[in-house]
Structure formats: structure tokens, C-alpha cells
Amino acid sequence: MKNTGIIIYTVILATFLSCNSNGDKADGYGNFEATETTVSAEANGKLLFFNIEEGNEAEENEVVGVIDTIQLSLKRDQLMAAKNTIFSKSRNVLSQREVLKEQLKVAQNDHSRIENLIKENAATQKQLDDINGQIDILKQQMKSVETQNAPIVNEVKSIEVQIQQIEDQIQKSIIKNPIKGTVLVKYAEPNEITAFGKPLYKIADLDEMELRVYIGQTQLANLKTGQEVTVKIDDADGMKSYDGHISWISASAEFTPKIIQTKEERVNLVYAVKVSVKNDGSLKIGMPAEMWIKG
């Protein structure tokens, strides 16, 4: 009977120790996170339209707001009028150039005709010299006209650049959502005055979450990028499991983060690891979870 009791005690002790081995502990603990994007205003003015609500989903490039653009439109109209006025000056100069061009064409024809007459002794050298002088004068006049038109052209180009700048500002007054995702925080309301760089809302793509966990150096050899792992969260019936894969492993060690730090762990060095997990709607930012390496 004595030997039988010893055997039973040994079996119970072995069972207890096996239940507390590393196989019954998660390989990493951490919290879920997502890439959060803060959308800010790119123009100054009143928010005439702002269709954003916390918890709602927004599509990529969806128009979610409009900032008042009346002053910008008026400035653009003023520049367009100035451009048309300068264009009229340029047209006058160019018309003079066209007249001179036609005169030069006639003079060059006369030059060819006089050269042929000289060959037949039907014209004099003086007539040829006169027509050459006339051609030179017309060419100089054309250069003068083109010189007068150059600053006008430059002025038109300058106004066109200003118009493009105004149109760019008008486009930036139309608030387009940069990524598909869920609105996390709303910072502004319709009819409020906003300014360049002022945050309007924060959005994140929650379709795929990332679990950031920290592992010791001894576990590092068992992990690689792309490796399949199991992620578990607390559930009403115990633990709920998800399939995940390692998306990133830190290249350098760091001290154990304060959020999971104990007195014994304060001097331990760990490596940060990110696990990508497809979200079924249950996973939230900041939610704690466990990572289990698949055997």
C-alpha cells in the first residue's frame, strides 16, 4: 500500500508540472493596433459641408467635406480678366508682326525679280541695293516687335501660374478621404472655421489589425516573417482563436515595455513583433491578445 501511494503521488506531481510547462503558456502577449491617419484641412475658411461621423466607414477618395471657396473663385476670375486684357495687347503686337511679315515676303519676291532683271541688263545695281536695304529694315522691325511681345508673353505666363495656384487651392478645399476605413475620431463640425493644418478627423483601416507582441531572445529563432501563428482573445466561452501571420520583426532589442513590465522583467531585453490578423469585427484597437506559435 505504501508503494502504491508513492506511485500515485508521483503521477499527480508529473501531471501538475506538465500543465505548467511552456506548452500551456502563450508565446507572446500584446495589444491590437492599426495604422491611424489624421486628415487635416489644406485650406482656410468655413466648413460648408462635412459628412463625417465616428464609427462610420468612408471609401477612398470619397468627398466628405467642402471648405468655402468664394474668395478663391473671385480671385481666379480677376486673374482671368487680367489675362484677357494682356492677351489683347499681345494680339495687337502680333498683328503688327504679321503685317511686317507680309511686307517682308513681298520685298523678298521683288529682290528675286530684280536679280533676274540684272542678269538680263534690265535693272540697275541701285535697285537691288534699295530692295536689300528695305529687307534689312523689315527684319529689324520684326525683331523689335517680337522684343515688345516677349514681356507680354512672360506676364501672361505669370498670370497663368497664379491661376493654377488658385485652382489647386480650390481643389484642396474639397476634402477627399485618403483611405478606405472607419472614422475613429471627429474633430470638427459643419459651419466651423478651419485653417490649414487643422485636424478634421482620424481614420484607420480596421479590416486587418496588427497585434504587437514582445518576445524574448530565446524565442526569436522560432519566428520568421510570413510565418503562420494563432492569435487568441478573451471570449465569453473562454478564448477565441484567429489565424495570423508574422508581418514584421524588430531588428533591434528594447527593454520590456512598461505596460507588460514586472519587477523581474525591468532589465530584460525583448523584440517587438507584429502579427497581421483578419478582423471579423470583434477586434478593436488596444484589445489585449495572445500569440501562439503553431507546432
pLDDT the model gives residue 265 = 54
Which is higher by pLDDT, 17 or 30?
30
Tell the CATH topology of 37-68+174-204: OB fold (Dihydrolipoamide Acetyltransferase, E2P) (2.40.50)
Distance set, CA 109 to CA 102, 131, 133, 137, 188 (Å): 11, 10, 14, 16, 74
CATH class of residue range 70-171: mainly alpha
Over range 238-265, report the average pLDDT: 78
**Mean pLDDT, the chain, whole residue set:** 85
Q: For the ranges 56-60, 80-84, 288-292, which has the lowest average pLDDT?
A: 80-84
Band (pLDDT 50/70/90 cuts) for residue 284 is: very high
CATH of domain 28-34+207-293: 2.40.30.170
The whole-number pLDDT of residue 262 equals 53
> 259: pLDDT confidence band, cut at 50, 70 and 90?
low
> Residue written as cell 480678366?
81
Which cell numbers hold the place of 51?
A: 459628412
Tell the burial category of 135 from Cβ atoms under 10 Å away from its Cβ (0-12, 13-18, 19+): middle
Residue written as cell 525679280?
Answer: 113
Sign (positive or negative) of CA dihedral 36, 42, 46, 51: negative
Nine cell digits for residue 256: 520590456
| Confidence class for position 263, pLDDT limits 50, 70, 90 | low
pLDDT of res. 103: 84
Helix, strand or coil, per DSSP, at residue 250: coil
The ranges assigned to domains in the chain are: 28-34+207-293, 37-68+174-204, 70-171
Rounded Cα distance, 169 and 290, in Å: 48
pLDDT in the model for residue 6: 32
H/E/C letters for each residue in 32-84? EECCEEEEECCCCEEEEEECCCCCCEECCCCEEEEECCHHHHHHHHHHHHHHH
Range from 107-111, 199-203, 213-217, 263-267 carrying the lowest mean pLDDT: 263-267
Question: What's the pLDDT tens digit per position in 26-55?
Answer: 888 999 999 999 999 999 999 999 999 999
> 42 near 196, Cβ under 8 Å?
yes
Q: What is the pLDDT of residues 63-89, one digit of tens each?
A: 999 999 999 999 999 999 998 888 777
Query: Cell for 181?
Result: 476605413
Order of all β-strands in the sheet with 36-40: 36-40, 199-204, 181-186, 57-58
Burial pattern 15-39, b for ≥16 Cβ within 10 A else e, equals eeeeeeeeeeebbbbbbbebeeeeb
| pLDDT-above-70 percentage for the chain | 88
Position with higher pLDDT, 82 vs 91: 82
